[in-house]
Structures are given as C-alpha cells and as structure tokens.
Amino acid sequence: MSAEGHDHEHSHEHEHHHKDTFITKYIFSIDHKMIAKQYLITGIIMGVIGVVMSMLFRMQLAWPEESFKIFNVLLGDKWAPNGVMANDIYLALVTIHGTIMVFFVLTAGLSGTFSNLLIPLQIGARDMASGFLNMISYWLFFLSSVIMVSSLFVESGPANAGWTIYPPLSALPQAISGSGAGMTLWLVSMALFIAASLMGSLNYIVTVINLRTKGMSMTRLPLTIWAFFVTAIIGVISFPVLLSAALLLIFDRSFGTSFFLSDIYIAGEVLHYQGGSPVLFEHLFWFLGHPEVYIIILPALGITSEIIATNSRKPIFGYRAMIMSILAIAFLSTIVWGHHMFVSGMNPFLGSVFTFTTLLIAIPSAVKAFNYITTLWKGNLQLNPAMLFSIGLVSTFITGGLTGIILGDSTLDINVHDTYFVVAHFHLVMGISALYGMFAGIYHWFPKMFGRMLNKNLGYVHFWVTAVCAYGVFFPMHFID
C-alpha cells in the first residue's frame, strides 16, 4: 500500500466527521501528526541552511587568503568580491548559523516534531488540548523562519553580533553593518519564535496534565513524555526573559532608551546614553540561554530512553531515578546562568556560587548516563540505525559533558574563555547529541509518520559517516585556541 493510503487511514480515524480540503489537511492543519511533519520539514530545511553556512565560514577560516568561486556564487560581489569572504559576512554567517541551529533546528525542529507527534499518541489523547493554538504556533514559527532567512538578503547584511547578540553591537543600529536592518529582523524573528514556542509549550503542558487516558498516572508516563513535558515547563519559565530582553533592545535601538548602553562613543562622538549596562543584557540573555541547552537536550534524551529500552528488549533501568534526574536538571538549569559570565567582572564569590550549582548538574546527568548503560547491559541489542544514533548520543553526552566540568569551574573557565575549547564542548554535548537524538527519533518513528520504512543500509552509512565526522571535527577542536 502507498504511503498516501496510510495517511488517509490515519486521519480518517481522527476526523472522519469533517471534510478536509487540501488547505485544512496539509497547510493550516490542526492535526498533531500533520503539524509534527510540518515542524520536521521546516526544521530540516533550516538545518541544511545552517550547516551550509558553517561549511562556508570554515572554508574561509582554513584558507583565509584563498579565493573560492563558491563564495562569490553564493554571497555575491558585495560580500565575496573575487571569491574572498568579507569580514562582516563571515561574522554574519557565524551568527545566523548559531541562531538557526540552536533555535530553529534543535528547539523547534526537534521538540516541535516529536512533542506533537508523540504526546497525544503516548498518553492516549485524541489530539493536543488545542489544535487551533497548535496550528498558530507552527505558523508563527514558520513566519519567524522566513523572516530570519530573509534577513540574509537585506542591503546592510544580516545580524553579525554573534548568536548571543550582546549590546552595544545589537543596541546601536550604527555600530557595525549587521547592527542595522539585519539586527531588527533578527529581533522581530526571535520575538515571533518565542511567541510560537510559548504557545506550543503551553499546549504540551495542558495536554499532558489534562488529557491523559484513564489509569495513566504521572508515574506511568513514558520517559519521552516526561522529557517533553518538563522541557515545555522550562521554556515557559525562561523564554519570556529573552523576549523581554529583545523588547528592551528594540527600545534602546528605536526609542532612545538606555537599558543596555552607558557612556558610548562612536567615532569620537559622545552618544547621549547613560545609566544602562550591557551586563544586564547578559543576565537576561543567559537566563534563557542556559536553560535553552536543556530545552534542546532533554527531548533528545527522552527519545533515547525509549529507543534504547525498545532495542535492548528491556524496560529502561531506573525509571524513577530518570524522572528525578529530569526534574533536578530542570530546576538546576534555571540557577546556573552566571557560568556564561565569569569574565564579565562578576564578584568571585558569586562566581563560586555559580560554579557550585553548575557542577551539581553533573550528578543527575551522570545518573542518566549510567541508566542508559545499565539498560544496554546484558540486553538483547538490536543495533539498527535508531539504536546506533541513541548510543551515539550517550557517547557524545559523556565526552562533551566531561569538558563541561572544566568550563563550569570559574577558576578554570577564565583560562579557556573565548577559545575553541568552549565551541568544541557545546557542539558535542548539545549540538551533536541533540542532532543524534533527532536522527534517532526520525529513524524510529518514520514508519509511524510516513507509513514506510527507511533504508537500513543507508541508515548505517549515515550513522558511521556522521559519527566519524562529528568526532573528527570536534575532538581536535579542543586543542586549538
């Protein structure tokens, strides 16, 4: 039977009483399974854009003097005259790569896809609590993606202040090329993204609390759902703080306020700003920024729990310990943001407090890693592509996590601050790990989503090429500065 035939069957089970047109079925759908596919496809497109960007700026870094025709073809005469990349566009590519991968791929693409697909299916609900809100959430996310991508085409170039968009580069439109229209579009896009994310999260939370089938107590909830549920709660707590930071930035840029600016000179001219502080922005940014890494990794870990248990033919080891770990990680994630600001002039005592809370996260993280390994132990292992990606996740979560112990300690971190050690750490522990979780989920649930199997042999090639390249890129990166 064709894939389309399956789809018809599934949607008929759910909504046989109203007539679907092409638009209500595929575009403005309120069906969680269709919305999951929309998130997945948008996430993959954004992922391809983000990865291509990283290849371009790495080529520039590897051969800075070299001329590449591809730069000129993709970036045009303005940004790559004679095939040599201009400084501003290099920074812009790094900025938009980070933004797209963190938010659009590993937050919306991962959580959006699997929360939507699995929450109703695994708790025995007909659909999300509000299909309409779910649809609005996806389309706001889509709009924010379009705006972020369109910022690549503005005259003065896309935002290029880094994905953390610290002021003053983000607060003064005249600071550098990307501080102008590109930064405005970045802020508008992120504001919409956050609205979309909050609507999605509220929907997931309400669905899990209210729509569980009879007999499904919270202590029987699958670990995937626990992970999505807690992720949604972290999102609702921390994303509004970034929204407020973005709004205050817009005030500073457009209405002459100085929340984040103080005593600024541009080209010898004194600007009127006074009383604000860029460090305030750092606090607001990282109050989201740190929990964001758990918003990314928890769903991937949840997916992994199910796939490892299924393919070991055993229940997951330590179900309750896993829930406690998820809750502990969620709580701790909101009180550690200062570890991103050890060199911002922070009081050393406060630095040691943030060091302490940060290192505490090693405990629940290690509990999770041990439970995965003990689930695998003496299991009847089915090493299909989904399982390999899940085991790959456990591997990068451990290797990436170990360098987190160094970075979390303020006395050590100050020495490696602003080096590639940090970049290598977070790409392994959250970037690659979450990507593995996403691939694992796709292999595992593809038949459920699209009604056909993925080719296993291509899956093995996919895994081994990815695994070798990921360690090949990010392991040596620890040693350069």
Q: Kindly list the residues in this chain that would bind Cu ion in the complex (CB under 5 A).
A: 290
Q: How far is the CB of 286 from Cu ion (least distance, A)?
A: 7
Q: How far is the CB of 337 from Cu ion (least distance, A)?
A: 6
CA-CA distances (angstroms) from residue 239 to 81, 193, 244, 246, 412?
39, 10, 9, 11, 29
Query: Which residue, judged by CB position, is nearest to Cu ion in the bound state?
Result: 290
Instruction: Tell me the C-alpha distance between 122 and 441, whole Å.
Output: 14
Nearer to Cu ion, 184 or 238 (CB): 238
CA-CA distances (angstroms) from residue 208 to 114, 116, 141, 357, 471?
14, 11, 22, 29, 37
Whether residue 194 contacts residue 240, with contact meaning beta carbons closer than 8 Å, is answered with yes
Whether residue 71 contacts residue 57, with contact meaning beta carbons closer than 8 Å, is answered with no
Nearer to Cu ion, 183 or 429 (CB): 429
Backbone torsions φ then ψ of 57, nearest 5 degrees: -75, -20
Instruction: Tell me the C-alpha distance between 281 and 112, whole Å.
Output: 28
Backbone torsions φ then ψ of 395, nearest 5 degrees: -65, -50
455 CB neighbour count, 10 Å cutoff: 11
H/E element, 269: strand 269-270
DSSP 381: -
Nearer to Cu ion, 286 or 319 (CB): 286
H/E element, 266: strand 265-266
SS3 state of residue 257: coil
**Nearest alpha-carbon partner for 404 in 448, 376, 363, 370:** 363
Q: How far is the CB of 183 from Cu ion (least distance, A)?
A: 24
SS3 state of residue 265: strand
Nearer to Cu ion, 333 or 371 (CB): 333
Whether residue 259 contacts residue 251, with contact meaning beta carbons closer than 8 Å, is answered with yes
The distance in angstroms from the start CA to the end CA of the chain is: 55
Nearer to Cu ion, 36 or 165 (CB): 165
Q: Which residues pair with 149 in a beta bridge?
A: none
CA-CA distances (angstroms) from residue 156 to 36, 78, 89, 181, 319?
35, 10, 10, 7, 53
DSSP structure string for 314-327: SPPTTHHHHHHHHH
- The number of residues in the chain equals 481
H/E element, 270: strand 269-270
